[in-house]
């Protein structure tokens, strides 16, 4: 059973020890669960093909479904995407941090497993304070598909994750219960105009205030 590791970012000394523990797990190819804006997600090093394969096994996820990656700053896009265009930058400036996942062309060295063989990659800069603090402390992007078996309900607490997946994870980061609610909106910006793949917390109308959407 995976350890449940609480983090209190108001206690710098204790949180630093926890971050070292998490970093060790990620560096060794492990998979963690951690809270995001809505539900708990599965975090791994997006540049480690073995970690990515482990997530697919844990979730029993079809191999052609890409994994979402979370970042804590726009600077981290450089290692994940081939390039960014003016329309993409406009969307990022308007809606990030926030519940909008943008699909980019993946950088050439990004694993095909991470992109589901599509060559495209979903990236989001979240607005959730705990998630941002965790990403900043680790100073690396993290994968963030929902912490559940594909096709089952999302999980809002560390205890729910432990009950469902605890024997398959390496660590569960407890940041308290998540808010739940609508998932992020997913917009494919590799097309012109962008294609709305999933309408979530942001509506088509919200997006069309910034750009035409098909």
- Digitized pLDDT (tens) for each residue of the chain, 214 residues in all: 899 999 999 999 999 999 999 999 999 999 999 999 999 999 999 999 999 999 999 999 999 999 999 999 999 999 999 889 999 999 999 999 999 999 999 999 999 999 999 999 999 999 999 999 999 999 999 999 999 999 999 999 999 999 999 999 999 999 999 999 999 999 999 999 999 999 999 999 999 999 999 9
Predicted local distance difference test score (pLDDT) of residue 83: 86
Which tens digits make up the pLDDT trace of 32-66? 999 999 999 999 999 999 999 999 999 999 999 99
Residue ranges and CATH numbers for the domains of the chain are 3-208 (3.90.870.10)
pTM: 0.95
**How many Cβ atoms sit within 10 Å of the Cβ of residue 110?**
21
Predicted local distance difference test score (pLDDT) of residue 110: 95
Token pair recorded at residue 161:
């994750």
Pairwise CA distance, residues 33 & 12, whole Å: 21
Pairwise CA distance, residues 6 & 108, whole Å: 36
């Amino acid at each position: 059973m995976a350890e449940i590791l609480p983090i209190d970012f108001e206690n710098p000394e204790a949180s630093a020890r926890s971050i070292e523990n998490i970093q060790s797990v990620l560096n060794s190819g492990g998979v963690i669960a951690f809270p995001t804006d809505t539900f708990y997600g599965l975090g791994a090093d997006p540049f480690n093909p073995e970690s990515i394969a482990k997530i697919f096994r844990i979730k029993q996820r079809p191999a052609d479904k890409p994994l979402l990656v979370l970042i804590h700053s726009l600077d981290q896009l450089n290692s994940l995407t081939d390039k960014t265009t003016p329309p993409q930058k406009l969307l990022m400036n308007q809606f990030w941090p926030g519940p909008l996942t943008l699909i980019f062309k993946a950088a050439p060295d990004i694993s095909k497993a991470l992109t589901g063989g599509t060559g495209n990659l979903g990236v989001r800069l979240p607005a959730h304070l705990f998630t941002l603090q965790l990403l900043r402390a680790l100073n690396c992007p993290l994968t963030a598909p929902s912490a559940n078996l594909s096709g089952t309900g999302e999980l809002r607490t560390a205890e729910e994750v432990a009950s469902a997946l605890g024997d398959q994870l390496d660590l569960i980061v407890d940041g308290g219960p998540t808010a739940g609610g609508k998932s992020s909106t997913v917009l494919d910006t590799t097309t012109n105009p962008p294609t709305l793949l999933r309408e979530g917390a942001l509506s088509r109308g919200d997006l069309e205030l910034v750009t035409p959407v098909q």
